Amino acid sequence: MDAIPAAPLRSRRTDVFRMLWRSSRDAKDTTARLAASNQTSASAPTGPAASTVKLHVRGISKAYGEATVLGPIELKVVAGELLAVLGPSGSGKTTLLQIICGLVEPSGGQLIIDGRDETDNSADKRDIGVVFQNYALFPHLTVRENVAFPLQMRRVPAAEIKSRAEATLAMVGLSDFANRFPRELSGGQQQRVALARCFVYRPSLILMDESLSALDKKLREDMRIEIKRLHRETGATIIFVTHDQEEALALADRICLMNEGRIEQLGTPQDLYERPANTFVADFIGASNLIHGSIAANGRLETRDGVLPLPDGCDLQLGRPAALVVRPEKLVLCGADEALLSGRVQESIYAGSETRLLVRLASGTAITVRRTAGLPPVEIDDNVFIRWERDQARVLDSSPSTSGA
C-alpha cells in the first residue's frame, strides 16, 4: 500500500481552497449576523461577543424517562476554534454531539448556530458536517467521487464541483489517489478522504466523533498533525469528541471535560493540566499524584504519610478534606534530610526518554515519579526519598460535593 508522506502538501490549489473557504465562511457569517441583528427573540446571542459565537448550547439537557443523561449545560463555541469534548464513557459527550447535529432531540434548552435557533430543525437543515469514526465512505465510488458527492447533492455546478474537489484532494495530499476506491486505501488515507468530503462543502460547523480511534498509534499521531494543519489553514470551527486525553491535549484550542452529563471544566489544555478545577479533572487529565489529607495550621496538609507543605494561596478551612496534586514530572529524588516523602520502588518502567518509577509509600498510597534519561538508575525495592517545590503543587478540595464524583 502506498503511504502518504507526513509533510503537508503545499500547492496553488491548496491556497485557492483556503481563500474560497474563508470567503464562503465570511459571507455566511455576515448573513448570519445580519439575520441575528434583526431578531428580537431572546434565543439569539447579544452583545459584543455575539458575532464571534458560532455555537451556543443554551441549557441543553437530555433525559430518558427518569434518567437524566445530559445537563442542563451551557457552552459557547467561538468561530474558528477547535474544541475537544473529552470525557470517560457515559459522560454525555456523544449525546451532546448527537443533539448538536440533529440526530437526537433535546429534552430542554436551545441550540443556537450562527445566531439562529436550530433546536427544532432537522439534521438536513443544519449547516453541519460530520466525520464519523468508521469513515462512512461509499465503497462503489472513487476517492474523487466520494469527495464530490456532497457538492452534487447541493446541486453545485459541475465545473465548480470539479475545481473544489481537486483543490480539497490537494489539500489533504490525495491528488494522486483520486481514481482509487476506498478498499485500495490504507486506514489513514480513508480518514483523509472522510475529512476532505466534509471540508469540501465548507459547512458552518464540523463535528468529529472519535474520528481517529480506529487508527493505530502512529497513524493517529500523523492525523493529529494533519487535522491541526487543516484547521489552521481553513479557519474552520471544529468540535472533536474523544475519550483520549492525549488527543485532546494535542489538538484542541480549548477542552470541554465532561463527567456524568455535566461539564467539569472548560478551558485551554494548559488550564486543565496546570490548574485543574477539582480532583476528577486532576486525575483524568494527564498523570497525577493525589495525596489526600486534611487542612492543618500554618499552611500544611496532614496526611497518613506525614505533614506536607501547601502552595501559597490556600483558602480552605482548617480540617477540610483536601488533596495535594503533584504531577510526576515535578517530583525529584533527594536525600533524607530534604525529603517530603519516602517509599519503596515497586516498579520501574523504561520509556526511552524517561523512566517511570512506581513508589509505594508507608500508608500504601502509590505515587509515580518521572525521571529523564541519563540519571543514575534506581532498582526495584530501593528505598527512595522524594521532594518537590512548594509552588509546583496544587491543593484541591476533596469533599464529595466538589471532587467531581
User: In the chain, where are the structural domains located?
Assistant: 12-274, 288-397
Gap between the Cα atoms of 369 and 326, Å rounded = 10
The answer to whether the beta carbons of residues 99 and 177 sit under 8 Å apart is: no
User: 288-397: same fold as 12-274?
Assistant: no
Model pLDDT, residue 11? 43
Q: DSSP class of residue 124?
A: G
What topology is assigned to 288-397 in CATH?
OB fold (Dihydrolipoamide Acetyltransferase, E2P) (2.40.50)
Which of 247, 237, 277 has its CA nearest to residue 259? 277
136 or 289: which carries more pLDDT confidence? 289
The whole-model pTM stands at 0.79
Does the structure show a pLDDT above 80 at 17? no
Before 72, cis peptide (omega within 30)? yes
Does the structure show a pLDDT above 80 at 28? no
Does the structure show a pLDDT above 90 at 188? no
Model pLDDT, residue 23? 45
Average pLDDT of the residues in 201-211: 87
pLDDT band at 139 (very low <50, low <70, confident <90, very high): very high
Average pLDDT of the residues in 16-25: 46
- Residues forming beta bridges with residue 135, ordered by sequence position: none
Does the structure show a pLDDT above 50 at 399? yes
The architecture (CATH level 2) of 12-274 comes to: 3-Layer(aba) Sandwich (3.40)
Angle at 393 between CA 262 and CA 395, to 5 degrees: 50
pLDDT digits (tens, 9 = 90+) for 60-93: 999 999 999 998 999 999 999 999 999 998 899 9
Gap between the Cα atoms of 224 and 212, Å rounded = 8
Gap between the Cα atoms of 332 and 328, Å rounded = 9
Which of 230, 212, 209, 265 has its CA nearest to residue 93? 209
Angle at 84 between CA 26 and CA 13, to 5 degrees: 45
Model pLDDT, residue 404? 57
pLDDT digits (tens, 9 = 90+) for 224-252: 888 898 898 888 899 999 988 989 999 99
Model pLDDT, residue 403? 57
Model pLDDT, residue 402? 60
Write down how long the chain is.
405
Average pLDDT of the residues in 207-211: 86
